[in-house]
Structure 1
Amino acid sequence: MTNADDASPIPASPEPHRLSPRDESRVALALTLRQLADAVLDSVPVEPDPTPSDLLRTALKLQRRMDDVVREAVVAERERGTTWNQIGDAAGITRQSAHEKWYSDVHGPTSAPIGDDPLLIETHRGHADAVRANRLAIAAIHDEISALYDELTTAEPSLADEHHTQSTWHHNAATQARSYADLLNGGKS
């Protein structure tokens, strides 16, 4: 008997979970929004005497990030079937202006299907994993806040109804964040 006879077949690796273009665009939007939120928090002016023009440079950097959010939102809207007319109305411009402004973002190289390129698939999966981890962290925070409001309900009976309402709201927010995270994981826990 040779070593080749002893070798067991290598199990086939499972097919990577693929997001639909609609879901990919929502993940990209969520990631861009998260990056904007991080940039905003990093930009809070804490220096008592900033260098001249620092505040303006920071604001302009945030404006460029916000432009990225708008582009990602337009792509997500188009992927979900929103018409150019509806996008134009939401932006306060004509359908034609909206089309001219964002057509290349929707149909440009960054929105092309990822196909079978393993590197691109892994990159997109990595984005989904990052957003999923963020959603699970948000759910944990909402759970903690909900528990605190539950404690306050008994500690402050005069405000029990308000505390209960807040507790319920945070509990529902945690459930919604976990549901979204499960969607990004293909429904697998």
Structure 2
Amino acid sequence: MNLDPPPVAAFGPAAMAHLALASAARLVSDYARGLVPTRPGRAGYGGLLTGDAVQLGRLVDDVLAAAVVAERADGVGWDQIGEALGVDPDRAREQWAATVTRWDADLARAAGPAHDDDELPEVLTGPPTVRARELDRWATRHREPDDLIEGPHPVTDALSGG
């Protein structure tokens, strides 16, 4: 049985934005899962749990930014994004346009012939097919019985319209 994902037709801007969103969501999930085990009997953690919660919040902020970028790459208007955020469209644009512009610039640099990977988001530093395969394996490994994802390549299939 061949478990290699089908080739993604083209990793265009929208597919790359969704790949970044999936990567950010994976980090949140992995980090949050690390907070689930408890250690009974300890008097306290000396602020460690609070620090971990703050870091989790930062990771969630990254997911929100990636979601806005992905929605804009899909052609979603500021009116719909603003509604989802609970703000008016002008406020949504004011708050998030720079993030979208920065992503677009990073994406263009990553596609260019010479770029410094240290200055790019991690998701743009390697081949997108490799990242998509990693996320496919992660999603299938963490699949729950009531999840809607199906098949061995849920991320790759979504990116390729499969």
TM-score (norm: length of structure 2): 0.71
* Cα RMSD after superposing both structures: 3.1
Q: Which amino acid aligns with 2:77?
A: T
Contact kept? 1:25, 1:79, Cα under 8 Å: yes
Shift of 1:59: 1.2
Q: How many angstroms apart in 1 are the aligned matches of 2:23 and 2:141?
A: 19
What are structure 1's unaligned runs of at least 5 residues? 1-16, 146-165
**Higher relative contact order at CA 8 Å, sep ≥6: structure 1 or structure 2?**
2
* Cα distance change, pair 94–43 in 1 and its aligned pair in 2 (3 A): same
How many residues align? The count is 143
What are structure 2's unaligned runs of at least 5 residues? 1-8, 118-122
Corresponding residue of 2:31: 39
**Higher mean C-alpha displacement, 53-62 vs 42-51:** 42-51
Q: Which amino acid aligns with 1:61?
A: Q
Look up the SS of the partner of 2:99 in the other structure.
helix
Asked which structure has the greater CA Rg, the reply is: 1
Look up the SS of the partner of 1:82 in the other structure.
coil
Corresponding residue of 1:29: 21
Q: How many angstroms apart in 1 are the aligned matches of 2:23 and 2:149?
A: 19
Q: Is the counterpart of residue 173 in structure 1 residue 153 in structure 2? A: no
Cα deviation 1:78-135 (Å, max 9, x = unaligned): 0000101110001000111111111110001x33223323666972425x42332231
Contact kept? 2:135, 2:155, Cα under 8 Å: no
Q: Is the counterpart of residue 75 in structure 1 residue 69 in structure 2? A: yes
Cα deviation 1:24-83 (Å, max 9, x = unaligned): 000000000001111111222523323232222111111111000000000000000010
Contact kept? 2:132, 2:155, Cα under 8 Å: no
TM-score (norm: length of structure 1): 0.62
Q: How many angstroms apart in 1 are the aligned matches of 2:48 and 2:142?
A: 33
Residue pairs, 1:1-189, within 5 angstroms? 19-48=11-40, 49=42, 50-108=44-102, 110-112=103-105, 113=108, 114-117=110-113, 123-126=125-128, 128-139=129-140, 173-175=149-151, 177-178=152-153, 180-182=155-157
Q: How many angstroms apart in 2 are the aligned matches of 1:118 and 1:39?
A: 33
* Cα distance change, pair 173–122 in 1 and its aligned pair in 2 (3 A): closer
